[in-house]
């Protein structure tokens, strides 16, 4: 027998109707407090569950997610670390995978239900997927309502990509199989974490889900949570974007000692680890933090970090892990050693490939070396940052996020010197009193684009150009600790590889709109010239110039962008504007060297960053 089918026949009664009838026999949309037709008294999400998405591999008939008898594999979910009741941190929101056993209702088909949800934050996050028999493969969307404790409301649009054909670049997790009435089939099953903006400063009391999107089409909701901001409590001091999922090692029972450079200081610290793009969980045995003396040597005995009160933790596929707050003084503008023990065997990892920084790894099978202050156990070196995506410090005024490509990433700058333009900007902010001394987070990825993905977002790959700026915006900007302002400096790779200026402009406008909806100030930077690089043709420069013309005309009060940084004007050769000044050129004519990167940072009017 198939469980949870949406409908019987055309015009027939919905099979799940019994789940939506109140105990008194009133219709599902009756409000028990005033008798009016409405969404009803808010209930916990699980009390609305009316569909079964998960089946055991040998019993596919116990679930019917999409109306055709297809479902998710309980075994695949378990292998990914998504077990019943598992807490999942996804884009800084703590969501809980349903506690339901396989074959039991585990999601709600969105149809105007009132869901109890409480808290104050900058977004509400939903764990969703769409299904459609009428239009297979298309995303499912609808408009819902956020209710606040003061009686006010705001609307939101929730879009759920299709569970079998949606983008892998934005998925929370992808599973390798589909359970069908005819048996298990190979094919990616996808689930998505999607956030929607809310009114800042107001306390949420409930959420009204979107109405039924139409016949044979469903928007499935598995979990919901308020994403709580941390402005005023924490400031982002260092960050890096997962740029791909690459083969490593294998690493078995080894310790990574990663070198990172703080922007802001504070008397408390916490780190963020991520298993982005992965298909299986990773075990963290222990972790520690210390100020660097030199190389792999710490200034003092490293301070042990904990996770939920325990020394280690397991990070499910696609999820993130935040350490507990630790009393530890992080100096501003200093190098830290973040050590991570991997007790199991790791064959692939999410990495930031262009660290422009030498880090260290212990010998094979050397065990937990996180507590050692000396360098002797660290016999190997790394030029990437695996797993580690953030370091936060207590207090502070908040954070400026730099969203960009290889120029922001610091490619062709001096290794181990922290000469990236966001590093120089952080130095300037620390040494002034004109505006708040924001932390600066570098979310540049070499080879990244605004419009299209380089890395497809799933599977082991040698490509570490990341998913597009639009696809990573929620993870790398909107959910970043203390984010107040985003500086968008990207687009040269799009125009070099054939994307039209119009498409780049639309992508930049979308980034601005989504960022502003979360309360961020949006600052755009013009695209620098690259004549002399092998593929920077006159046609490329024409597209670049067209994008810059748009940016210059659409920045300022009541414009698309709040402010403009004219990086093009800073580094271009006055005698030949399609190329870089020789003194700023690293030598490849595309990437500025140390002097050019410093010139970019020093050209910034710091008041443009103030939110």
Strands 234-239 and 140-148: unpaired
pLDDT at 9: 26
pLDDT band at 229 (very low <50, low <70, confident <90, very high): low
Residues 478, 123 contacting (CB under 8 angstroms): yes
Q: Is the pLDDT of residue 7 over 70?
A: no
Give the domain extent around 159: 17-227
- pTM of the predicted structure, to 2 decimals: 0.93
Kindly state whether residue 99 falls inside one of the protein's structural domains: yes
Span 48-69, average pLDDT = 97
Same domain, 27 and 121: yes
What share of the chain in percent tops pLDDT 70? 93
Same domain, 281 and 167: no
Q: Is the pLDDT of residue 36 over 60?
A: no
Same domain, 69 and 179: yes
Same domain, 440 and 516: yes
Same domain, 364 and 348: yes
Number of domains in the chain: 3
CA distances from 150 to 153, 156, 196, 204, 366 (A): 9, 18, 20, 9, 57
Residues 329, 101 contacting (CB under 8 angstroms): no
Same domain, 190 and 85: yes
Kindly state whether residue 145 falls inside one of the protein's structural domains: yes
Q: For the purposes of burial, counting CB atoms within 10 Å of the CB of 180, is it exposed (0-12), middle (13-18) or buried (19 or more)?
A: middle
Consecutive H or E run containing 403 = strand 399-404
pLDDT at 15: 32
Domain end residue (candidates: 340, 360, 394): 394
Please give the DSSP secondary-structure letter assigned to residue 432.
-
Q: What does the pLDDT look like over 522-531, one tens digit per residue?
A: 999 999 999 9
Query: Which are the contacts of 593, defined by CB distance < 8 A and separation ≥ 6?
Result: 412, 413, 584, 585, 586, 587
Q: Is the pLDDT of residue 514 over 50?
A: yes
Instruction: Give me 54's structure tokens.
Output: 């998960």
Q: What does the pLDDT look like over 461-499, one tens digit per residue?
A: 999 999 999 999 999 999 999 999 999 999 999 999 999
Domain end residue (candidates: 367, 394, 421): 394
Same domain, 403 and 389: no
Q: What does the pLDDT look like over 306-350, one tens digit per residue?
A: 999 999 999 999 999 999 999 999 999 999 999 999 999 999 999
Span 404-433, average pLDDT = 98
Of the two residues 294 and 30, the one the predictor is more confident about is: 294
Q: What does the pLDDT look like over 172-192, one tens digit per residue?
A: 999 999 999 999 999 999 999
Domain end residue (candidates: 360, 394, 428): 394
Strands laid side by side in the 114-119 sheet: 114-119, 204-208, 140-148, 153-160
Q: Is the pLDDT of residue 21 over 70?
A: no
Kindly state whether residue 182 falls inside one of the protein's structural domains: yes
Same domain, 474 and 600: yes
Kindly state whether residue 293 falls inside one of the protein's structural domains: yes
Of the two residues 428 and 22, the one the predictor is more confident about is: 428
Average pLDDT, the chain: 93
Kindly state whether residue 536 falls inside one of the protein's structural domains: yes
pLDDT at 228: 81
Q: Is the pLDDT of residue 95 over 80?
A: yes
Same domain, 175 and 315: no
């Amino acid at each position: 027998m198939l469980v949870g089918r949406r409908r019987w026949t055309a015009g027939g009664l919905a099979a799940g109707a019994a789940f939506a009838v109140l105990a008194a026999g009133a219709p599902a949309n009756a409000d028990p407090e005033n008798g009016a037709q409405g969404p009803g008294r808010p209930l916990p999400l699980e009390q609305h569950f009316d569909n079964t998405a998960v089946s055991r591999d040998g019993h596919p008939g116990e679930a019917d997610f999409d109306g055709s008898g297809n479902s998710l594999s309980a075994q695949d979910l378990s292998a990914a670390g998504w077990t019943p009741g598992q807490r999942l941190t996804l884009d800084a929101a703590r969501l809980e995978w349903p506690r339901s056993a396989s074959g039991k209702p585990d999601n709600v088909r969105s149809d105007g239900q009132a869901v109890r949800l409480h808290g104050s934050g900058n977004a509400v996050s939903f764990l969703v997927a769409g299904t459609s028999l009428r239009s297979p493969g298309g995303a499912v969307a609808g408009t819902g309502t956020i209710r606040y404790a003061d009686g006010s409301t705001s609307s939101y649009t929730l879009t759920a990509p299709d569970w079998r054909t949606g983008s892998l670049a934005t998925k929370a997790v992808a599973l390798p199989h589909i359970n069908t009435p005819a048996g298990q089939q190979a094919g990616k099953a996808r689930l998505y974490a999607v956030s929607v903006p809310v009114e800042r400063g107001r306390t949420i009391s409930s959420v009204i889900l979107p109405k039924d999107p139409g016949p044979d089409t469903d928007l499935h909701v598995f979990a919901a949570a308020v994403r709580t901001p941390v402005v005023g409590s924490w400031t982002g001091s260092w960050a890096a974007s997962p740029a791909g999922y690459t083969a490593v090692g294998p690493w078995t029972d080894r310790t990574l000692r990663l070198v990172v450079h703080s922007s802001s200081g504070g008397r408390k610290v916490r780190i963020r680890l991520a298993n982005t793009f992965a298909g299986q969980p990773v075990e963290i045995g222990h972790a520690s933090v210390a100020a660097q003396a030199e190389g792999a040597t710490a200034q003092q005995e490293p301070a042990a970090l904990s996770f939920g009160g325990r020394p280690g933790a397991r990070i499910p596929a696609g999820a993130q892990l935040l350490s507990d707050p630790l009393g530890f003084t992080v100096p501003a503008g200093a190098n830290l050693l973040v050590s991570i023990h991997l007790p199991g065997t790791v064959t692939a990892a999410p990495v930031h490939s262009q660290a422009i920084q030498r880090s260290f790894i212990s010998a094979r099978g050397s065990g937990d070396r996180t507590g050692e202050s000396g360098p002797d156990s660290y016999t190997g070196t790394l030029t990437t940052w695996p797993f580690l995506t953030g370091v936060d410090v207590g207090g502070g005024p908040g954070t400026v996020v730099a969203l960009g490509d290889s120029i922001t990433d610091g490619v062709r700058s001096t290794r181990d010197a922290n000469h990236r333009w966001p590093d120089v900007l952080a130095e300037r902010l620390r040494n002034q009193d004109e505006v708040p001394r924001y932390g600066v987070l570098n979310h540049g990825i070499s080879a990244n684009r605004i419009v299209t993905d380089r890395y497809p977002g799933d599977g082991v790959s040698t490509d570490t150009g990341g998913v597009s700026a639009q696809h990573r915006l929620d993870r790398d900007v909107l959910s970043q600790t203390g984010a107040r302002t985003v500086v968008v400096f990207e687009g040269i790779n799009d125009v070099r590889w054939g994307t039209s200026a119009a498409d780049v402009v639309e992508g930049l406008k979308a980034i601005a709109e989504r960022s502003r909806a979360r309360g961020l100030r949006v600052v755009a930077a013009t695209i620098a010239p690259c004549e002399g690089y092998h593929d920077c043709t006159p046609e490329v420069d024409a597209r670049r110039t067209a994008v810059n013309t748009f940016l210059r005309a659409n920045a300022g009060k009541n414009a698309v962008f709040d402010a403009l940084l004219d990086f093009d004007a800073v580094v271009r050769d006055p005698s030949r504007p399609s190329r870089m000044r020789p003194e700023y050129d690293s030598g490849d004519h595309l990437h500025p060297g140390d002097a050019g990167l410093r010139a970019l940072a020093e050209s910034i009017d710091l008041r443009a960053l103030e939110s």
